[in-house]
Amino acid sequence: MEKYEDEVQQRWGETDEFAESTRRTSKYTQADFYSAKVDQEAATELFVYAYGNSLAIDSEKAKAAVLAHRVAISKWFYECSVEMQKNLAVMYVTDQRFKEYYDGRVRGLAQYVHDAIMAQ
């Protein structure tokens, strides 16, 4: 994570979300970071399930994945609004690192996550 600190500071350093995330995470233990990762992975698995079962992006399961994604971010980092979540969704398909994370789970998942988030 340290190798991305400069990029994160440059891209989002002036935002309220960055300040909130910095404030929260500065107090986290390794166990807290692990728990945050578990919550994020659980949300991703909900997307994997919906996509893997060819469910529509506006299906109840896809909507549950979208909500779990937003709740996990809000719980651990900053209050994630629908608008902010949509900004993240764009990044998931335009930033190769995020695209590879999702598509590394299931090919095409990044686009599905993007589309499901945008459909809310």
Residues 67-110 pLDDT 10s: 999 999 999 999 999 999 999 999 999 999 999 999 999 999 99
Angle between helices 109-118 and 96-105 (to 10 degrees): 110
pTM: 0.88
Q: What structural domains and CATH numbers belong to the chain?
A: 29-118 (1.10.490.50)
User: What six digits make up the tokens of 116?
Assistant: 């499901």
Determine what percent of the chain is predicted with pLDDT higher than 70: 89
Mean pLDDT computed over every residue of the chain: 91
pLDDT of residue 16: 80
Band (pLDDT 50/70/90 cuts) for residue 55 is: very high
